[in-house]
Chains A and B, each alone.
Chain A
């Protein structure tokens, strides 16, 4: 199984801050990576796929990058509605695994 490790597990930030979340795969996944946002009591929402492609309707302040085993999600200017938990997910292997999540909280 490919393990996905996110860091940090949580962070506190202020509105307007630039936020970066890292996802590391236990082996190379050839950009087969998606990022999801989940708010409390709600289903996850797809933000990016193929590591860096923005899903339709997602604000451009979200961006993704990376290659091989290391990937990042960046929020360029954190907005009040962005406080949530973020998950990465690889779809390179038969077992599509998620990271453990990164909770973005208000400072």
Chain B
């Protein structure tokens, strides 16, 4: 069975304290892995797409990496405005049943 597991479920950091969020998957035939950020009561906001192992992408304080089994979202020197839930989604191909979201990591950055 395809699974997408995000860890930790929740993470509290001090401002400036760098860390990483993990998304591990057991999907066969990965076609794409997506990272989104979601603020309470709002729709998810796209961050990154990764298609193949070894790929890396950066945007401001965020960097996403991908291996054959997992992806990391590295957050460098975070600020309070980085507080949000970070969602990972994996696409294996096919129709509506080919996209699976993880449960997310709730990140809190304290000033």
Asked if chains A and B come from one complex, the reply is no
Binding site for A on B (CB under 8 A): none
